[in-house]
Amino acid sequence: MTVKPESIRILFPAWTNPPSMNLQPTTSERLSNWMERQHTSAPSVSISVVVPAFNEERRLPPTLIDIIDFFERKGTPYEVIVVDDGSRDNTAEVVRKFERVRPEVRLIQLPKNQGKGHAVRLGVLNSRGLRILFVDADGATPIAEMERLQAALDSGSDVAIGSRALASTDTKVATSLHRKVLGRVFNRCVNIILLPSIADTQCGFKMFSRKAALFLFRKQTSDRFSFDVELLFLAHKAGLRVAEVPINWTNVPGSKVNLVVDALLMFRDVFRFRVLHRGVSREAYEQFEQNYDLLEKEAAAEARHAADHP
Ligand SMILES: Nc1nc2c(ncn2[C@@H]2O[C@H](COP(=O)(O)OP(=O)(O)O)[C@@H](O)[C@H]2O)c(=O)[nH]1
Ligand SMILES: [Mg+2]
């Protein structure tokens, strides 16, 4: 959990004028500037990995180990933000163990379950990376696959999404037939209703430039599984460059998505997005770009508040 601003303020007066120390008159100013800097939103790591987790005490630890080992080996400055979405198991305790040994790991804990979309948004808006990747807690996609998404951003895309539907000779998708068929049917429907050009909207492995993330996630309204479709629809309307990239993916047992109930809920949302986001356009995005620095500060403050008062 991030340090609460209130707790800093309580300590602050005691530090400014301790009677036993002969402090320079500038100390108070320096300290307040320093505190302020700790709370700026300026990107301070190359990549933030956001992991939504709902009752993931079993599937999460191997995924976290893989992520940490991967970035430590590469020597890339990174952070991992796990958003515990009101788990009833020991997910939070497990993450705290990682936090104790690795300062790069941060836990945001929600007292009650609010959905994957909500958890991912909260993590993304609290992140400090130049690029932001979200991944599923079960590690269905090996973290090394982020290189493929990274390459797409390097060549100018704003958003790069993992895809299990695009054919490629050097990637493999291992899943059951019924999941594959239902996934395809859902996507075909989304193609017809909302987004013509994306073969797999639902893969839990997506990367964003910081700017694109701030634009998209602040407009996201869906807290549950339709949030991927919403983000991609927003990106399409804003004229962002979205790359769909084939990735390796293995179905990990223990999915919590109900393929019937959740799919129906998603359809209801998919119909709403067109009306909901009719005001989003390229011009809206350009305007956002002009005010980006200011908005980033504002968004970071809002996000901290949301994480501290869930
Ligand atoms: N099912 C579910 N998953 C959530 C929720 N909040 C966060 N998540 C996370 O979203 C990801 C979904 O992965 P999973 O259940 O394996 O779904 P699937 O692989 O798409 O079938 C996991 O990281 C979950 O822990 C929630 O409210 N429900
Ligand atoms: Mg899964």
Distance 281 CA to ligand 1 centre (A): 31
Pairing of strands 105-110, 159-163: unpaired
**What contacts 170, CB < 8 A, 6 or more positions away?**
none
Model confidence band, residue 10 (pLDDT cutoffs 50, 70, 90): very low
- Please give the pLDDT value at position 68: 98
Lowest mean pLDDT among 21-25, 116-120, 224-228: 21-25
DSSP string, 97-143: HHHHH-TTEEEEEESS---HHHHHHHHHHT--EEEEEEE-TT-SS-G
Pairing of strands 159-163, 205-209: antiparallel
Closest C-alpha residue for ligand 1 atom 13: 136
Distance 62 CA to ligand 2 centre (A): 14
From the list 152, 138, 146, 12, the residue with the least C-alpha distance to 76 is 146
Q: Could you give the angle at the alpha carbon of 292 between the alpha carbons of 286 and 298, nearest 5°?
A: 135
Ligand 1 pocket list (CB less than 6 A): 52-54, 56, 85, 113, 115-116, 119, 136-138, 140, 204, 255-257
- pLDDT tens for residues 133-168? 999 999 999 999 999 999 999 999 999 999 999 878
Answer with the residue of higher pLDDT: 297 or 12: 297
Q: Which residues surround ligand 2, an ion (CB under 5 A)?
A: 138, 140, 255
Distance 266 CA to ligand 1 centre (A): 14
- Report in angstroms the alpha-carbon separations of 233 from 31, 237, 238, 279: 44, 6, 9, 12
Q: Indicate which atom in ligand 1 lies nearest the CA of residue 118.
A: 6
First vs last C-alpha separation in the chain:
11
- pLDDT tens for residues 16-64? 333 334 455 577 777 766 666 665 556 789 999 999 999 999 999 999 9
Domains of the chain: 47-301 (3.90.550.10)
Q: Indicate which atom in ligand 1 lies nearest the CA of residue 53.
A: 25
Mutate to test the pocket of ligand 1, among 136, 163, 224, 228 (most ligand atoms within 8 A of CB): 136
Distance CA 145, CA 152 (A): 12
Mutate to test the pocket of ligand 1, among 83, 249, 251, 257 (most ligand atoms within 8 A of CB): 257
Q: Indicate which atom in ligand 1 lies nearest the CA of residue 51.
A: 23
Q: Indicate which atom in ligand 1 lies nearest the CA of residue 179.
A: 21
Model confidence band, residue 297 (pLDDT cutoffs 50, 70, 90): confident
Closest C-alpha residue for ligand 1 atom 1: 256
Given a contact cutoff of 8 angstroms between Cβ atoms, the answer to whether 163 and 243 are in contact is no
Distance 276 CA to ligand 1 centre (A): 25
Model confidence band, residue 7 (pLDDT cutoffs 50, 70, 90): very low
Q: Indicate which atom in ligand 1 lies nearest the CA of residue 113.
A: 27
Closest C-alpha residue for ligand 1 atom 2: 256
- Please give the pLDDT value at position 168: 86
